[in-house]
């Protein structure tokens, strides 16, 4: 099935200043509403100092509760795109974005939803919370860690949701300026008796590592990593001989296969410049479609099962399993 163009244009209809360094961009896609699920992200292409840069940003809106599509961006000190978006984008401007995608989504379940958010990690979790409150009877409990009170994104929105759902939603705040970082005891104390809950974790890498290692289980854990996560490598056996063929932007290149080399690495070795961003399997910027052969994806935290079924792969994580592999960057 032909996939629609990767990037589409969307007008920024409103910009909401959430905190000193976080803004919500309200987006009206030119082609009409985009299908998405709560918790998903889109990849944006912006031109900064003459270079096209790609970065992913999660939706803070939820399709079941918001008429508008929204993403919330926090400035990263020294960061190229987050600062560019804050400093250059005005209401009425257009941005280029992909269709939302990602696996940080609700599963059909009745167990409590436990959200663990560090800083801007609240963005996809707010989307999940709104969706869960609107479409299920699940209890929802959030543990939000921030540097200080002034850094709390969506404080008002969360208080409003608590007021509307006092029996189902609770928000616990952890502020670093009142006694240091969250620790494992804090995580376990928050989980309490809800050990069977689905944990949704999003925040800076040290925060995610702490929460993931402290969770007592047996509940399921879902993580959304904003940067390169810890490498999760599956053992891959590769035939010694073979080729990798890459189609990108009207060019075709074929290189001999190298053991344990990803399709993205093969493409670069072939002299091509495919799009990429996190190189950790989190963002889908490097996705391509396999037209020949099979690969193993070391990590897939971005493509949906339907996309995988259609042959899409994260080229930064795909290692060939068959002698010949052909991938098309669409």
Residue 61, interface with ligand FAD (CB under 6 A)? Answer: no
**Whole-number minimum distance, CB 75 to ligand FAD, in Å?**
7
Q: How far apart are CA 12 and CA 71, in angstroms?
A: 10
Determine which residue in the list 25, 36, 41, 312 makes contact with ligand FAD, applying CB under 6 A. Answer: 41
**Whole-number minimum distance, CB 22 to ligand FAD, in Å?**
7
Residue 130, interface with ligand FAD (CB under 6 A)? Answer: no
- The phi, psi pair for 242, rounded to 5°, reads 145, 180
From residue 39, alpha-carbon distances to 121, 167, 183, 268 in Å are: 11, 23, 25, 31
Residue 95, interface with ligand FAD (CB under 6 A)? Answer: no
Residue 287, interface with ligand FAD (CB under 6 A)? Answer: no
* Nearer Cβ to ligand FAD (148/183): 148
Determine which residue in the list 82, 98, 131, 300 makes contact with ligand FAD, applying CB under 6 A. Answer: 82
Determine which residue in the list 13, 28, 79, 93 makes contact with ligand FAD, applying CB under 6 A. Answer: 79
Strands 198-203 and 113-118: parallel
Q: How far apart are CA 261 and CA 269, in angstroms?
A: 10
Q: Which residues contact 233 (CB under 8 A, 6 or more apart)?
A: 298
Q: Which residues contact 254 (CB under 8 A, 6 or more apart)?
A: 243, 244, 245, 246, 270
Determine which residue in the list 19, 24, 58, 98 makes contact with ligand FAD, applying CB under 6 A. Answer: 58
Residue 24, interface with ligand FAD (CB under 6 A)? Answer: no
Residue 89 CA, distance from chain mean position: 22
Strands 113-118 and 140-146: parallel
Number of residues that bind ligand FAD (CB under 6 A): 25
Residue whose structure tokens are 């969706």: 131
Determine which residue in the list 76, 109, 209, 308 makes contact with ligand FAD, applying CB under 6 A. Answer: 76
* Nearer Cβ to ligand FAD (74/168): 74
From residue 162, alpha-carbon distances to 39, 134, 139, 156, 170 in Å are: 19, 13, 12, 10, 6
Determine which residue in the list 69, 81, 171, 187 makes contact with ligand FAD, applying CB under 6 A. Answer: 81
Q: How far apart are CA 170 and CA 159, in angstroms?
A: 9
Determine which residue in the list 78, 92, 231, 250 makes contact with ligand FAD, applying CB under 6 A. Answer: 78
**Which DSSP symbol is given to 120?**
G
**Whole-number minimum distance, CB 227 to ligand FAD, in Å?**
6
- Only one of the segments 55-63, 136-144, 156-164, 170-178 lies at the binding site for ligand FAD (rule: CB under 6 A); that segment is 55-63
Element counts in the chain: helices (H) and strands (E): 7, 18
Instruction: Name the H helices within the chain.
Output: 80-88, 122-135, 155-164, 184-191, 205-214, 263-269, 305-309
Determine which residue in the list 24, 61, 98, 120 makes contact with ligand FAD, applying CB under 6 A. Answer: 120
- Only one of the segments 135-143, 210-218, 276-284, 319-327 lies at the binding site for ligand FAD (rule: CB under 6 A); that segment is 276-284
Residue 228, interface with ligand FAD (CB under 6 A)? Answer: no
* Nearer Cβ to ligand FAD (151/245): 151
**Whole-number minimum distance, CB 86 to ligand FAD, in Å?**
9
Instruction: Assess contact for 195 and 217: CB atoms under 8 A.
Output: yes
**Whole-number minimum distance, CB 314 to ligand FAD, in Å?**
12
- Which residues of this protein are in contact with ligand FAD, per CB under 6 A? 41, 55-58, 71-74, 76-83, 120, 123, 224, 226-227, 278, 282-283
């Amino acid at each position: 099935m032909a996939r629609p163009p990767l990037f589409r244009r969307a007008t920024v209809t409103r910009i909401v200043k959430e905190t000193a360094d976080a803004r919500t961009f309200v987006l009206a896609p030119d082609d009409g509403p985009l299908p998405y699920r709560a918790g998903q992200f889109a990849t944006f292409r912006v031109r900064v100092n003459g270079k096209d840069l790609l970065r992913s940003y999660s939706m803070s809106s939820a399709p079941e509760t918001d008429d508008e599509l929204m993403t919330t961006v926090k400035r990263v000190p020294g960061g190229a795109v987050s600062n560019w978006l804050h400093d250059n984008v005005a209401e009425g401007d257009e941005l280029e974005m992909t269709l939302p995608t990602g696996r940080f989504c609700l599963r059909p379940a009745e167990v409590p939803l436990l959200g663990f958010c560090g800083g801007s990690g609240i963005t996809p979790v707010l989307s999940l919370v709104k969706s869960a409150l609107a479409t299920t009877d699940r209890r929802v409990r959030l543990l939000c860690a921030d540097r200080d009170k002034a850094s709390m994104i969506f404080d008002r929105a969360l208080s409003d949701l608590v007021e509307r759902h006092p029996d189902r939603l609770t928000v616990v705040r952890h502020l670093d300026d009142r006694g240091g970082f969250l620790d494992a005891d804090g995580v376990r104390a928050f989980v309490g008796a809800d050990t069977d809950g689905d944990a949704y974790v999003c925040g800076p890498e040290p925060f995610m590592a702490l929460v993931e290692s402290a969770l007592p289980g047996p509940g399921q854990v879902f993580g959304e990593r904003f940067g390169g996560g810890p490498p999760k490598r599956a053992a891959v056996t590769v035939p010694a001989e073979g080729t990798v063929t890459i189609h990108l932007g009207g060019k075709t290149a074929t290189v001999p296969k190298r053991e344990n080399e990803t399709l993205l690495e093969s493409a670069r070795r072939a002299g091509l410049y495919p799009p990429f961003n996190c190189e950790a399997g989190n963002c889908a910027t490097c996705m391509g479609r396999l037209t020949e052969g099979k690969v193993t994806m070391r990590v897939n935290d971005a493509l949906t099962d339907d996309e995988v079924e259609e042959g899409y792969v994260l080229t930064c994580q795909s290692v060939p399993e068959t002698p010949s592999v052909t991938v098309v960057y669409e």
